[in-house]
């Protein structure tokens, strides 16, 4: 009975923690290997949704072993793809790409079209996180085509949303808003509250980038309210991060700190550097200089951890460069200014998209407003030059960049 109501009902409606409790009650009590494999896979997905990735990986590996033992290629394919999604959320993008390619190959051999579409989208998400927008747009576009061909409305909406996010990163706000509005309509149509929260977050980002922080804050607030009832960690943390950015832009550092402080942050590894950075910015605005320096230092450490897993992680590169800027101002250490310039140079080697340049510039302006000693003159000059260049050429580049990474899509059986 639980198999019948898990993926299409309770999980879609956001009852993930209730599902974990139900799955736990029957864990290791099923004797049929096929049912056991499916149950372990579903239980792993539930842990994935609440950001318990190590436990999710344990359960999925158990399911994978069973799938191989009984020769169930469809289950093996599904589980392998979900393992890739877990690794993506933990920042292991190259490993995730390998797993998703393996899954895609199997899905095509066994003619599993639904999973083929999901894995194309998962690969798009990974390339998005690594700054390869053209590849990401191509893969997400292929997924939309597959979803429409097989009538998978839920997947179609998710992937349209990812296309919108790509255009947002490129600074194409009107096109992004069209796509994201369509994606939100589909999420509400199919009753997918997890994706509804994600699309509201993405739309809010678009309003923030377009210069309307009030509307952005309103939408981020809606997403936060929605995730309270669903307990889904990814959209919850991204809503908090976005709301903090909007409040900083509105000149409300106390409100920003209320959601960006570490004690309020659920575990979501790929967003940790940004959250630490935002806490540092809020503390700097409040003139808590020593505390802000500690927060900026934590942001650098968190970013370095992620960059050790994938050195082209766009969000980590952006957060690291900005956090070093904050440390330079907070400590008035001239040696840090040199490291900051090097960090922005490293980030620019991967990130040239107009949307990312503009977002970086907005946050850097907040930090630079506290730079009484002029330590960031070289940094701000180089960023102003980059901004002017991309304002002229419309954000094109040899290798455009991504925004903050989002989780991979998962497959369900």
Residues 47-72: pLDDT tens digits? 888 878 899 999 999 999 999 999 99
Instruction: Judge if 246 and 307 occupy the same domain.
Output: no
- Asked if residue 227 belongs to a domain, the reply is yes
Q: What integer pLDDT is reported at residue 312 of this predicted model?
A: 93
Q: Kindly state whether residues 316 and 274 are assigned to the same domain.
A: yes
Separation of alpha carbons 358 and 384, rounded Å = 10
Q: Scanning the structure block, which residue is given the tokens 């956001």?
A: 14
Rg of the chain in Å (alpha carbons): 21
Angle between helices 314-331 and 289-309 (to 10 degrees): 150
Domain annotation covers residue 19 = no
Residue 271, Cβ density class (10 Å: 0-12 exposed, 13-18 middle, ≥19 buried): buried
In a domain, 303, yes or no: yes
Task: Establish if 401 belongs to a structural domain.
Answer: no
Q: Does residue 103 lie within any of the structural domains?
A: no
Task: Report whether 91 contacts 313 (CB < 8 A).
Answer: yes
CATH number at residue 392: 1.25.40
Flag whether 328 is in a domain.
yes
Is residue 13 assigned to a domain? no
CA distance 288 to 220: 26
* pLDDT digit string, tens, across residues 284-322: 999 999 999 999 999 999 999 999 999 999 999 999 999
Residues 270, 244 share a domain: no
Query: Residue 344 belongs to what domain range?
Result: 265-396
User: What is the domain count for the chain?
Assistant: 2
pLDDT for the residue 168? 93
294 located within any domain: yes
Among the ranges given (49-53, 92-96, 218-222, 316-320), the one the predictor scored with the smallest mean pLDDT = 49-53
pLDDT above 90 covers a percentage of the chain that reads: 60
Per-residue pLDDT band at 7 (split at 50, 70, 90): low
- pLDDT tens for 340-378 read 989 998 998 887 788 888 898 899 999 999 998 888 887
One domain for residues 284 and 331: yes
pLDDT for position 110: 93
Distances (CA, A) of 268 to 89, 334, 368, 405: 8, 33, 29, 11
Domain CATH number, residue 193 = 1.25.40.10
Q: Which element (helix H / strand E) includes 409?
A: none
Same domain, 245 and 274: no
Task: Give the C-alpha distances (Å, rounded to integers) separating 2 from 26, 85, 118, 192, 256.
Answer: 10, 23, 23, 19, 41
Least confident of 7-11, 105-109, 113-117: 7-11
The predicted pLDDT at position 387 comes to 47
For residue 155, give every residue at least 6 positions away whose Cβ sits within 8 Å of its Cβ, in sequence order, or none: 114, 117, 118, 121, 143, 146, 147, 409
Task: Let me know whether 272 and 367 are in one domain.
Answer: yes
The mean of the pLDDT values for the chain is 86
Residues 246 and 269 in one domain: no
Do 282 and 372 sit in the same domain of this protein?
yes
Q: Are residues 176 and 240 in the same domain?
A: yes
Same domain, 270 and 392: yes
Looking at the structure, do residues 289 and 385 belong to the same domain, yes or no? yes
DSSP letters of 43-90?
A: HHHHHHHTT-HHHHHHHHHHHHHHHHHHT-HHHHHHHHHHHHHHHHHT
Position 176 pLDDT exceeds 50: yes
CA distance 240 to 231: 13
349 and 278 part of one domain? yes
Please give the torsion angle defined by the CA atoms of residues 200, 201, 206 and 210, in that order, rounded to the nearest 10 degrees: 100
pTM for the full predicted model? 0.85
């Amino acid at each position: 009975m639980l198999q019948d109501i898990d993926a299409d009902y309770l999980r879609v409606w956001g009852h993930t923690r209730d599902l974990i409790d139900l799955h736990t009650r029957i864990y290791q009590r099923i004797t049929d290997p096929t049912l056991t494999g499916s149950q372990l896979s579903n239980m792993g997905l539930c842990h994935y949704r609440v950001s318990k990735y190590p436990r999710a990986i344990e359960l999925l590996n158990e399911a994978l072993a069973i799938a191989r033992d009984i020769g169930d290629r469809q289950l093996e394919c599904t589980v392998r793809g979900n393992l890739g999604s877990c690794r993506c959320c933990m920042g292991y993008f190259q490993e995730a790409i390998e797993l998703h390619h393996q899954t895609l190959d199997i899905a095509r051999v066994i003619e599993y079209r639904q999973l083929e579409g999901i894995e194309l989208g998962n690969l798009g998400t990974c390339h998005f996180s690594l700054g390869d927008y053209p590849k990401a747009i191509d893969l997400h576009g292929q997924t939309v085509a597959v979803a429409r061909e097989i009538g998978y409305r839920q997947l179609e909406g998710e992937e349209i949303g990812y296309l919108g996010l790509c255009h947002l990163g490129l600074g194409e706000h009107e096109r992004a808003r069209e796509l994201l509005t369509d994606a939100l309509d589909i999420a509400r149509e199919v009753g997918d509250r997890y994706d509804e929260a994600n699309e509201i977050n993405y739309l809010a980002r678009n309003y923030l980038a377009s210069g309307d922080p009030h509307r952005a804050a309103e939408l981020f607030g809606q997403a936060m309210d929605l995730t309270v009832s669903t307990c889904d960690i990814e959209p919850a943390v991204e809503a908090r991060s976005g709301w903090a950015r909007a409040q900083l832009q509105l000149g409300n550092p106390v409100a920003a700190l209320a959601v960006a402080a570490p004690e309020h942050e659920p575990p979501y590894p790929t967003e940790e550097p940004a959250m630490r950075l935002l806490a540092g910015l809020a503390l700097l605005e409040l003139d808590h200089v020593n505390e802000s320096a500690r927060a900026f230092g934590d942001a650098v450490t968190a970013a370095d951890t992620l960059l050790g897993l994938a050195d082209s992680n766009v969000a980590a590169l952006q957060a690291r460069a900005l956090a070093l800027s904050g440390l330079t101002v907070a400590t008035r250490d001239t040696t840090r200014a040199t490291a900051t310039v090097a960090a922005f140079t490293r980030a620019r080697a991967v990130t040239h998209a107009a949307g990312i340049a503009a977002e970086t510039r907005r946050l850097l302006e907040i930090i630079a407003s506290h730079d009484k000693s002029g330590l960031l003159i070289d940094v701000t000059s180089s960023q102003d030059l980059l901004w002017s260049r991309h304002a002229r050429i419309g954000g094109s580049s040899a290798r455009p960049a991504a925004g903050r990474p989002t989780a991979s899509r998962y497959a369900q059986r």
